[in-house]
Amino acid sequence: MPRLSTSLLRNAKAIDPLLPSLLRPCRTLQAAQNELRWLREHVLGDHRTRNHTAAHQASILRRLVRDRASGKPLQYILGTEFFGDLEIACRPGVLIPRQETAASITHLTHLLLTCGALPRSLRVLDLCTGTGCIPLLFRHELLSARNDTRLQLLGIDISPSALALAKHNAQRLTNDTPHISIEFLRSNILSTAPPDSLAHTLTTHSQPTTWEILISNPPYISPSAFWKSTTRSVRGFEPKLALVPPALKPGIGDTEQGDVFYSRLLAVAEEVGARVVLVEVADLEQAGRVARIVKKKNVWDGVEIWRDWPDGHEEEQGGGDEERLGCKILGSGNGRSVVFWREEGRAWLGK
Amino acid sequence: MSTLPWVCRNCLSRITRPTFRRLVRYQSTGTIVASRESIPSGLLARARQIAVEHKELTDKLANDFDPRAARKVGEYGPIVDALKAWDNANKSVAELTGLIHDPETDAELRELAADDLSATRESLVDASQSLTTSLVPVHPFAHLPCLIEIRPGVGGSEAAIFAGDLLRMYQAFCNRHGIRATLLKYENVNGTQEAGLPLSEAILEVGNEGAYGMFRCEAGVHRVQRVPATETKGRVHTSAVSVLVLPSIGENSLGEEDINDPESDYYIDPKEVKLEVMRARGAGGQHVNTTESAVRLTHTPTNTVVSMQDFRSQPKNKEKAWQLLRSRVAQLRREKREEELTALRRSVVGVAKTGRGDKVRTYNWGQQRVTDHRSGTTVHDLDDVMGGGQTLEKVMDSVRTWLMEQDVQALIAEQTTEKK
Ligand SMILES: C[S@@+](CC[C@H](N)C(=O)[O-])C[C@H]1O[C@@H](n2cnc3c(N)ncnc32)[C@H](O)[C@@H]1O
């Protein structure tokens, strides 16, 4: 990481003595100023600190700025992150939802809502659900456009703290809607045998065994990328369980370990009879590898890669990526998800 | 009626007799001979023409319904009524005058007629005024809420301090009048929201209906002359702050049709807007947990750029950026039209221009006075002005009346040139 210039630090200090330390995690003055404002609003507005004396509030603010300067994510300090239109509660120990994930989900629901062929009843399975942000946003987007679709949503995670938070979020963000249900269950996606396996979890909780839509943002960072390309704030404060897949066998290669979840996710997609599948990936290369396995299966009718902003102008083509990966690539930004479908799924996506 | 200037209805009610007399005096020095009771011939001709058109349209509507014609009939109605009232009053005055001058009239009747004449003359004055004002079209956005954008201009930190003073002046003014005003964007030089610090940019949203008509007169460069707090040698500095007033098109203030109607100033073809979102640096996704949610919109045909990053939520930043973009593009379009109009008017009457680049008002601390350069009004209770009090209202009133006079003059001039 490049060093911050002394003139930038001096400017920041002239504006507010608290700013220079925020420049470390934020890098730009504008971002640091925004964060300082949000932190200040938090201290002045939060019910726990609202009625403190100004001096007490100032000392709390100084402490929060110190926490932030040490790399603690702002979302853990403020307790929430925006995901599409939703403000999702966040806690240390559970991965913070990312804007790019929200962009993929919004685009997916947009396609489903505009296809004109969506069935009256839809089941959506989200594997590795974390805060529960994906099924909650899916529900929100669908509900704000139409009220006549029966929706059954299920989020799966291995981490009890993630499940507790997901349930908390569901309670905060949903009201009783008779034709929509949302639940969260614990299971280990990588396990194929009872009592941990997904199939077992579904049957013991009398859940359906078929799901039309499967979504997952699984851990996808390889051990070497974890050291090389994650920021200090991610590495030091977010749960590694959510980021790096386990080494399933001794001597597993670095890239292979990063890809561990995808072969399991593909198997589950077939087991539950999914018609549309969206899985998030780390970059274009991983997307290409996943797309290749999808094609080899010979059960899917189509596959494409979406970038960070799938509905954006397609500005970053050119490099011959489509030919090289043998797959259509949509939008702008980094390679972010692989989307595939079969049978009715094609019409639902308007493909 | 497309080349006529705009004026807001609020202002029309403010033509008080004295100002009207001033206006009429101005007219009488020109080629148009007018008195308090008569209507400039150009305007009268226009009104008659409208009455004819109104009749044709009404006849047409009797046979088959046409929404456009119906709308026109609705628009013309008040003008036709005002013309009728003016004709009636005129006829009565003529009859009464005739009676008085008729040698046959007996003394008693003449006295009665003379009595009546003064009352009838009054009603003719009223009728003249309503006819003139009914012909001046209402500013199409006068009914909307507005955005007041305040930015320091020349004068460094003193300008930034005065920008903050102006913001508080408008906030106090709104407060006093029970008008809902919310800060949409506020940045002092610290990037924080604390009051009392020099301001780098503020956008105040005034939510009331008719706010645009009310604050339109505040647009322009406001100049301050005082000894800055930071000045050690006691020298007076002159600094400037620019105030931009835009009609605001929040969710409710404009109907769907205004946003979706390609004819509307507020229509923006989404294909002509480039949306950029602040991207996480590097790999993105799980690798980074940035809080940056800035959104930048570029309207390519006019090269208007709007960026918004005040909210943590990206959709919220996007929504607000669209709102700002619509307002700014609409303003550009109007300015362009108005510029063409001003050029036309200048060639005729030499009307002063009132764009964003012009110095409109001076606040002088040493003399404790405020002078508006458009209406020529000077007031002395500087503190009351800065506190958003009655004195400020008085100044704003004077500008609205001035704006209205400009419009009426231009209207008369246009009618005259059209006839030539
Ligand atoms: C990258 S996070 C995604 C969270 C959330 N879906 C989002 O987009 O913000 C991955 C999640 O997978 C969960 N996880 C890790 N290993 C798992 C496993 N073997 N079975 C089920 N969930 C697992 C982690 O607890 C974590 O919540």
Same domain for A246 and A295, yes or no, is yes
Q: Report yes or no on A78 lying in a domain.
A: no
Residues 6+ apart with CB under 8 A from B230: B157, B158
In chain B, the number of structural domains is 2
Q: Which amino acid, one-letter code, is at B408?
A: V
Same domain for A222 and A321, yes or no, is yes
Q: What is the DSSP string of B210-228?
A: THHHHHGGG-EEEEEEE--
| Contact B417/A at CB under 8 A | no
The alpha carbon of residue A203 and the mean position of all alpha carbons in its chain are separated, in whole angstroms, by: 27
Mean pLDDT of the A131-158 span: 94
Q: Report yes or no on B88 lying in a domain.
A: yes
DSSP state of B7: B
Q: Do B317 and B294 contact (CB within 8 A), yes or no?
A: yes
Q: Which residue has the higher pLDDT, A89 or B70?
A: A89
Nearest CB partner across the interface for A334, out of B283, B289, B294: B283
User: What's the length of chain A?
Assistant: 351
pLDDT at B2 > cutoff 70: no
Same domain for A54 and A99, yes or no, is no
Same domain for B292 and B367, yes or no, is yes
Q: Are A34 and B193 an interchain contact pair (Cβ–Cβ within 8 Å)?
A: no
In chain A, the number of structural domains is 2
Q: Report yes or no on B16 lying in a domain.
A: no
**pLDDT at residue B343, rounded to an integer:** 57
Same domain for A130 and A219, yes or no, is yes
Same domain for B292 and B366, yes or no, is yes
| Contact A58/B at CB under 8 A | no
Same domain for A128 and A259, yes or no, is yes
Same domain for A102 and A62, yes or no, is no
Structural domain ending residue among the three candidates B103, B138, B173: B138
Same domain for A66 and A172, yes or no, is no
Q: Which amino acid, one-letter code, is at B200?
A: S
Q: Are B289 and A219 an interchain contact pair (Cβ–Cβ within 8 Å)?
A: no
Same domain for B132 and B208, yes or no, is no
Pocket of ligand 1 (CB under 6 A): A 95, 97, 101, 128-131, 133-134, 156-159, 162, 188-190, 217-219, 241-242; B 286
Mean pLDDT of the A45-62 span: 89
Q: Report yes or no on B305 lying in a domain.
A: yes
Q: Do A134 and A211 contact (CB within 8 A), yes or no?
A: no
Q: Are A282 and B293 an interchain contact pair (Cβ–Cβ within 8 Å)?
A: no
Place of tokens 């050029």: B343
| Contact A223/B at CB under 8 A | no
Q: How confident is the model at residue B153 (pLDDT cuts 50, 70, 90)?
A: confident
**Sign of CA pseudo-dihedral B345, B349, B353, B354:** negative
Same domain for A107 and A56, yes or no, is no
Same domain for B274 and B151, yes or no, is yes
Q: What is the pLDDT of residues A95-122, one digit of tens each?
A: 999 999 999 999 999 999 998 888 999 9
Q: Which residue has the higher pLDDT, B320 or A239?
A: A239
Cβ contacts of A99 on chain B, cutoff 8 Å: 277, 280, 290, 293, 314
Q: Report yes or no on B78 lying in a domain.
A: yes
Domain that holds residue B381: 146-411
**pLDDT at residue B250, rounded to an integer:** 55
Cβ contacts of B189 on chain A, cutoff 8 Å: 15
Phi, psi of B17 (to 5 degrees): -55, -45
Least confident piece of the model among B87-101, B133-147, B370-384: B133-147
For chain A, where are the alpha helices, taking DSSP H only? Answer: 6-15, 19-26, 29-45, 54-69, 74-78, 99-114, 133-145, 160-173, 198-204, 223-229, 232-237, 254-258, 260-271, 284-297, 321-325, 344-349
**pLDDT at residue A127, rounded to an integer:** 98
Q: What is the pLDDT of residues A288-310, one digit of tens each?
A: 999 999 999 999 999 999 999 89
The β-bridge relationship of strands A332-341 and B181-188 is unpaired
Closest CA to B132 of B2, B15, B10: B15
Q: Report yes or no on B224 lying in a domain.
A: yes
pLDDT at A125 > cutoff 50: yes
- The chain-wide mean pLDDT, for chain B, equals 78
CATH, residue A138: 3.40.50.150
Q: Do B151 and B167 contact (CB within 8 A), yes or no?
A: no
For ligand 1, the distance from its centroid to the CA atom of residue A234, given in whole angstroms, is: 15
Could you give the CA distance from residue A335 to residue A284 in angstroms, rounded to a whole number?
4
Q: What percent of chain B is helix, strand and coil (3-state, nearest 5)?
A: 50, 15, 30
Structural domain ending residue among the three candidates B87, B104, B138: B138
Q: Do B173 and B218 contact (CB within 8 A), yes or no?
A: no
Same domain for B91 and B166, yes or no, is no
| Contact A74/B at CB under 8 A | yes
Could you give the CA distance from residue B174 to residue B218 in angstroms, rounded to a whole number?
14
Cβ contacts of B292 on chain A, cutoff 8 Å: 31, 34
Q: Which amino acid, one-letter code, is at B122?
A: E
DSSP state of A156: E
Q: How confident is the model at residue B30 (pLDDT cuts 50, 70, 90)?
A: very low
Q: Report yes or no on B14 lying in a domain.
A: no
Same domain for B100 and B173, yes or no, is no
Q: Do B239 and B164 contact (CB within 8 A), yes or no?
A: no
Phi-psi region of B210 (alpha: psi -120 to 50; beta: other; left: phi over 0): left
Please, what is the Cα angle at A72 between A90 and A105, to 5 degrees? 40
pLDDT at B355 > cutoff 60: no
Mean pLDDT of the B165-174 span: 93
ipTM: 0.93
Same domain for B180 and B119, yes or no, is no
* Element of type H or E holding B344: helix B314-348
pLDDT at B419 > cutoff 60: no
Q: Report yes or no on A81 lying in a domain.
A: no
Same domain for A331 and A203, yes or no, is yes
Long-range CB contacts (within 8 A, 24+) of A14-21: A15/B189, A15/B190, A15/B191, A16/B190, A16/B191, A16/B192, A18/A61, A18/A62, A18/A65, A19/B191, A21/A65, A21/A66, A21/A68, A21/A69
The two tokens of residue B315 are 């959709």
- The chain-wide mean pLDDT, for chain A, equals 92
For ligand 1, the distance from its centroid to the CA atom of residue A243, given in whole angstroms, is: 8
Q: Are A16 and B190 an interchain contact pair (Cβ–Cβ within 8 Å)?
A: yes
Helix axes B107-135, B67-101, angle to 10 degrees: 150
Q: Report yes or no on A80 lying in a domain.
A: no
Q: Report yes or no on B244 lying in a domain.
A: yes
Same domain for B71 and B177, yes or no, is no
Mean pLDDT of the A181-202 span: 93
Q: Report yes or no on A266 lying in a domain.
A: yes
The β-bridge relationship of strands B199-206 and B181-188 is antiparallel
* Element of type H or E holding B331: helix B314-348
Domain that holds residue A126: 91-349
Q: Do B152 and B241 contact (CB within 8 A), yes or no?
A: yes
**pLDDT at residue B357, rounded to an integer:** 59
Mean pLDDT of the B307-313 span: 89
Same domain for A261 and A112, yes or no, is yes
Q: B229, exposed or middle or buried, with CB in 10 Å at 0-12, 13-18, 19+?
A: exposed
Could you give the CA distance from residue B245 to residue B231 in angstroms, rounded to a whole number?
31
Q: What is the pLDDT of residues A26-42, one digit of tens each?
A: 878 888 989 998 999 89
Residue numbers of B between 275 and 314 with CB closer than 8 Å to A: 275, 277, 279-294, 309-310, 312-314
User: What's the length of chain B?
Assistant: 420
Closest CA to A278 of A99, A74, A138, A89: A138
**Sign of CA pseudo-dihedral A19, B202, B199, B174:** negative
Q: Report yes or no on A85 lying in a domain.
A: no
Q: Are B279 and A308 an interchain contact pair (Cβ–Cβ within 8 Å)?
A: yes
**pLDDT at residue B32, rounded to an integer:** 29
As beta bridge partners, residue A306 has A330, A337
Same domain for B197 and B126, yes or no, is no
CATH, residue B213: 3.30.70.1660
Structural domain ending residue among the three candidates B80, B112, B138: B138
